[in-house]
Structure 1
Amino acid sequence: MLFGSCSEGGDSQRSHGRLIKIGFSLDSVVVERWERDREEFITHARSLGAEVNYRFAVADARKQVEDINELLDDGVDALVVVPNDAQALQGVLKRAANMDVPVISYDRLILDSPVSAYVSFDNVEVGRLMAEGMIKHAGFDSRVLIINGGAKDNNSRLLRRGIAEVLSPYINRGMIRIAGEITPDDWYTSLIEDDLEEYIREEKLDGIIAANDLFADSAIQILARYRQAGDVVVVGQDADLIACQRLVEGIQHRTIYKPIDRLARQAAETAFNLAVGEKLHSSRTVDNGYARIPAVIVEPVAVEKDNLEETVIADGFHTREEVYRNRE
């Protein structure tokens, strides 16, 4: 746990009978997982006795600044932010600091701004697990295309670092070759599809490392048009339902499961605790360019066809009926 509570009794005592208002600013809900984050966060915050006021920035950094200003104007006691642009929030978050409103950077690290806590997954480890999956399934002497995440997202850099830690020694020895990299400005499939199709059409690829399962889905659809689906190794992350179904079908080879319910609950507890004035107790910190901030980091899990049952299905992330729908 990130916090140690100095108070006793129920949450109503901790808030002195006052309704706690938490603002939740999300970048977008284009990716499947963000709806799950939102729903779990709201459910847990309400169980603690808090009200959640949320906004979607539709992947627009300027709109996110407007959203956060609105939440501050509404009198929220704490802010939880999934940044669209990690470096675009300095002004509005300084306003939050001046108003003594704690800010939790959720999933993606906000850079160069005052932040009270960071709640996320180990994104470097996500990259490592993806690269290890590529080696396992594509082997050596393979040509690999890397589809990076949105350029404005600090997680994309962490993910790429993890991929490089695993692949670089083999690249340096000529055992793996990088056919190319695609780096979109944001997490939209429309920003990668033209380049992706050109690589698939022109290059003989053995594998594609996709920054998330949405990008992996685009890759598989294009591979299918060129009758290469299942022959080219594809790895992604987020354990989206379609990715898990494709693991069963053998046309995606690995996804990375990040226990979103656990992360969302931790973020809700962190926001509530800070809102009622409790202090942070954390053995781990991260540097966001402004200060070292307390962090709680949840470990990701590699998922393949042979461990679906004990991971995403056992956790109730997806049901067995959903995952095996196309095979039963």
Structure 2
Amino acid sequence: MKILRYAVSGVALCSYLFLSSATSEIVGISFPNNSNSSWQKQGQFLQNYLEDEGYAVSYMLANSVKTQIKDIKTMIDGGTDILVVASIDDKALSGILEEAKNKNVTVISYDRLIMNSPVVDYYVTFDHYSEGVKQAQFLVDKFHLDEEKHSLNVEFLSGARADNVARDIYEGEMSVLLPYFESGILGSLSFETDFNQTTEYTWNKATAQRRLRHVINLSQYQTNSKTKQLDIILSEGTDIPNSIEKTLTREYGYTKKDLPFITGRDCSDADFSQIKRGKQQMCVYKDPQALPYITKVVINRITNKDGLPVLENSSYFNGVENIPTYILPVTLVDKNNVEDYIGPKNL
């Protein structure tokens, strides 16, 4: 993506309200329903923030693209004024969103930019490109790559091909790491370093494990060989590092000292605990309340609740238009600052 510097299916898990727009604006929220509990958490925060402001909220989680399209149509037909959509497939919603635009519904793309559609009005997201940069720079510093004399083997588990966020992270990583690949300091025995080679259509623990097995079997990594040792895995996804670690130890005989360095996107409570105990070295933190809150601010300004214009701080090109965007920063968490984030239950 070019940056101009980016419920059980069909059933509402929270409130599912269609009220008269004469009473209050109706906001429809359509998020994915998958193993990443962050979606449910953020959706609940967003619903609470909006209801506190007096909006009627229709909040639905979808297990598939087909269901998400059906949910969005239900919201449009029910009189929704503003749609907040985190797309399951960033290129699959242009048709249904045309229906939204025909009914003067404002469309906000949430976290993942909806691609190839001229009807997206706003985009709210974290700085995922920066996320990739921070992860990669952490590796440069940790492994002293500017001083390294022999090659380290790196493999990518780059997330969902249908999620442009994964591509942003990958591009951020490669902006830092590409010179080290070109100089031979970093290598990959799978020879799969292109984004499309390192992704799956969807992304969860099962697909991450499948990608890992493919890499191991293709590359014939050996724990007792300096030249065939797997040193680093760049992995995307909440709670994915733990499943990768288990796959390596249970299926391939890795011990704790043999394990490669594994990155992980998003910080869960489990990640904080792992960092605290020295079993994981870093994660990138995105406050689960921050994006819902700024989305509420954008909606207030769209509806003129506070009399202020939307003040985007960037724009992203979605293949058709430059979308006004509000970007939030991300924070790298490691042993040096984990105490600032960890809760008493994790101690």
Q: TM-score range by the shorter chain?
A: 0.7 to 0.9
Q: Which residue of 2 aligns with 1:322?
A: 345
Q: TM-score, normalised by structure 1?
A: 0.86
User: Is the CA contact (8 Å cut-off) linking 2:204 and 2:237 kept in structure 1?
Assistant: no
Q: Distance in 2 between matches of 1:274 and 1:200?
A: 50
From 120, 124, 133, the equivalent of 2:125 is 120
Residue 157 (structure 1) shift: 1.0
Indicate yes or no: 2:64 matched with 1:41: no
Matched positions, count: 302
Q: TM-score, normalised by structure 2?
A: 0.81
User: Is the CA contact (8 Å cut-off) linking 1:238 and 1:257 kept in structure 2?
Assistant: yes
1:88-103 aligned within 5 A: 88-103=92-107
CA RMSD after TM alignment: 2.1
Q: Which residue of 2 aligns with 1:173?
A: 183
User: Is the CA contact (8 Å cut-off) linking 1:137 and 1:233 kept in structure 2?
Assistant: no
Read off the aligned partner of 1:109 and give its amino acid letter: L
User: Is the CA contact (8 Å cut-off) linking 1:45 and 1:269 kept in structure 2?
Assistant: no
Q: Which residue of 2 aligns with 1:13?
A: none
Q: Which residue of 1 aligns with 2:76?
A: 72
User: Is the CA contact (8 Å cut-off) linking 1:116 and 1:294 kept in structure 2?
Assistant: yes
What are the superposed Cα offsets for residues 251-280 of structure 1, whole Å, 9 maximum, x if unpaired?
221100012211111112223432458743
Residue 249 (structure 1) shift: 2.1
Q: Distance in 1 between matches of 2:256 and 2:26?
A: 48
From 178, 181, 189, the equivalent of 2:205 is 189
Q: Which residue of 1 aligns with 2:66?
A: 62
Q: Which residue of 1 aligns with 2:245?
A: 220
Q: Distance in 1 between matches of 2:210 and 2:318?
A: 34
- 196-205 vs 78-87, which moves further: 196-205
User: Is the CA contact (8 Å cut-off) linking 2:32 and 2:39 kept in structure 1?
Assistant: no
> Percent identity at matched positions?
26
SS of match in other structure, 1:294: strand
SS of match in other structure, 2:188: strand
What are the superposed Cα offsets for residues 157-206 of structure 1, whole Å, 9 maximum, x if unpaired?
11110011011011111111134453111012212313313545731211
Read off the aligned partner of 2:254 and give its amino acid letter: R
Q: Distance in 1 between matches of 2:46 and 2:133?
A: 28
Residue 143 (structure 1) shift: 1.0
Gaps of 5+ in 2: 1-20, 146-150, 193-197, 222-228
Rate the CA distance shift 1:283–1:258 in 2: closer, same or farther, 3 A: closer
- 174-183 vs 113-122, which moves further: 174-183
Higher helix share: 1
Indicate yes or no: 2:271 matched with 1:255: no
From 166, 169, 194, the equivalent of 1:156 is 166
Gaps of 5+ in 1: 1-15, 314-318
Read off the aligned partner of 1:322 and give its amino acid letter: K
Read off the aligned partner of 2:255 and give its amino acid letter: Q
Rate the CA distance shift 1:99–1:45 in 2: closer, same or farther, 3 A: same
Indicate yes or no: 2:55 matched with 1:25: no
Rate the CA distance shift 1:118–1:135 in 2: closer, same or farther, 3 A: same
Residue 239 (structure 1) shift: 0.3
Q: Distance in 2 between matches of 1:26 and 1:283?
A: 24
Indicate yes or no: 2:331 matched with 1:301: yes
Residue 144 (structure 1) shift: 1.3
Read off the aligned partner of 2:81 and give its amino acid letter: D
Read off the aligned partner of 1:219 and give its amino acid letter: I
User: Is the CA contact (8 Å cut-off) linking 2:109 and 2:124 kept in structure 1?
Assistant: yes
Q: Which runs of 4+ in 1 moved over 6 A?
A: none
